[in-house]
Every structure is written in C-alpha cells, then in structure tokens.
Homo-oligomer: A and B are copies of this chain.
Amino acid sequence: MLVAKIFTFPKAGVLDPQGSAIKPVISNLGFTNVKDIQTGKYFEVKIDACDVAEARKTVQELCSKVLVNPVVEDYEFEILEA
C-alpha cells in the first residue's frame, strides 16, 4: 500500500482569500518574521499499487478528474510507502 500526499494551492495571480484573512491576524499577534502565507488543500490518499509509477499515474488522474480545479489551482504530490 502506498500513500500519496497531495497539496493544492491557488495558481500565481489567483486571489487567496483565506490567506489574505490570516495575514493580518498573524501580524497582529506579533509574528514579525512571518513574511507570507498561502493556503490550500491537503489530501492523503491510500493507493493499492504495485509500484510508485502506477500510483503516480493514479494520482495524476485523480487530481485532474476530482481533486483539483485546473483553472485556478496547481498541485504537487509525493508518494510514500504506508
């Protein structure tokens, strides 16, 4: 069993309202060394695959069909042994 950790985040130039809402809170709490924050979604998917290549293909299909809106979102993922 393999585990895919998938992160999605707004494409460059796309508004990130949640991130914009958190920024002033962080600043008001005195986190002066936090320069920027961007939010996104996280998915942890268990995949029954023989090898990483097969799992990678499944994740790419899953992202393009279900998890990611390709108009406004980018994604990254990594695949680990469960």
Contact = CB atoms under 8 A, between A and B. Distances in A.
Interface in A19-36: 22, 25-26, 29, 31, 33-36
Interface of A: 1, 5, 7-9, 22, 25-26, 29, 31, 33-49, 54, 58, 61-62, 65-67
B66 A48 contact: no
Q: How many copies does the complex hold?
A: 2
B58 A34 contact: yes
A31 B1 contact: no
14 contacts: A5-B7, A9-B42, A9-B44, A26-B66, A33-B48, A35-B48, A37-B44, A38-B43, A39-B41, A40-B41, A40-B42, A40-B43, A40-B44, A41-B41
A34 B66 CA distance: 13
Contacts of A49: 33
